[in-house]
């Protein structure tokens, strides 16, 4: 056994040490899990508290086809919620943009944009844009050629992020920022912040 696999096995043994050796009978398993998921008072050295839930929307518009900083809006949603320990989910319900957590630095953002344009060029054929072939999800009021934007958003697959909270702040790394990348023409967008915890 290699030293690496031995170390991994020791970590697994330590992690499993506190778990029960046998599962409860099937009829008892689900009620126990359901009871754990219900909001309840927590009693610790700070006294009893109730679980909290806060839901907020942020409407915004990109000034260009690339990016919008959302870290300040994220921090505002956390502060407004009153939740100090828990999680926040940032969700964008659009199909031609993406939420990214990464460094806000001009060179990195330029590199990202350049790579996306090389991976998904705007000047190729996209079936989504073929007015003869396309028969689904047509709405004449806003349809236009945006096949590349859909493909870029699909590749990124980033419509939401769950971010842990501690001490009333998002536990983002030193350089991490929440960024909305617009893949289509600039337009009004909505990002939902769902904050929950204590």
> The CATH number of the domain where 190 resides is what?
2.60.120.460
Whether residue 109 contacts residue 117, with contact meaning beta carbons closer than 8 Å, is answered with: no
> How many residues comprise the chain?
198
pLDDT recorded at residue 48: 39
Convert the pLDDT of each residue in 14-36 to its tens digit. Answer: 544 544 444 344 333 333 333 33
| Range with top average pLDDT, 34-38, 137-141, 155-159 | 155-159
What is the rounded average pLDDT of the residues 172-191?
89
Is residue 164 a part of any domain in this protein? Answer: yes
Is residue 193 a part of any domain in this protein? Answer: yes
Task: Please name the residue that has the structure tokens 């989504």.
Answer: 128
**Number of domains into which the chain is organized:** 1
Is residue 5 a part of any domain in this protein? Answer: no
Whether residue 196 contacts residue 78, with contact meaning beta carbons closer than 8 Å, is answered with: no
What's the pTM?
0.67
Range scoring the smallest mean pLDDT among 47-56, 69-78, 156-165: 47-56
Is residue 43 a part of any domain in this protein? Answer: no
pLDDT recorded at residue 25: 42
Is residue 72 a part of any domain in this protein? Answer: yes
Is residue 16 a part of any domain in this protein? Answer: no
Domain span including residue 90: 53-134+146-197
């Amino acid at each position: 056994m290699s030293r690496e696999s031995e170390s991994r096995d020791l970590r697994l043994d330590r992690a499993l040490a506190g778990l029960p050796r046998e599962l409860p009978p099937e009829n008892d398993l689900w009620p126990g899990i359901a009871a754990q998921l219900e909001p309840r008072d927590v009693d610790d050295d700070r006294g009893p508290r109730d679980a909290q839930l806060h839901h907020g929307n942020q409407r915004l518009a990109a000034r260009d086809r690339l990016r919008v900083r959302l870290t300040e809006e994220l921090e505002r949603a956390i502060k407004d919620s009153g939740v100090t320990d828990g999680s926040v989910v940032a969700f964008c319900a659009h199909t031609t943009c993406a939420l990214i957590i990464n460094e806000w630095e001009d060179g990195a953002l330029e590199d990202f944009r350049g790579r996306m344009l090389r991976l998904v060029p705007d000047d190729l054929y996209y079936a989504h844009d073929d007015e003869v072939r396309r028969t689904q999800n047509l709405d004449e009021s806003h349809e236009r050629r945006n096949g590349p934007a859909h493909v870029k958003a699909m590749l990124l697959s980033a419509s939401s992020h769950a971010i842990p909270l501690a001490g009333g702040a998002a536990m983002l790394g030193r350089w991490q920022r929440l960024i909305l990348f617009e893949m289509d023409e600039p337009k009004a967008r909505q990002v939902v912040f769902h904050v929950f915890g204590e």
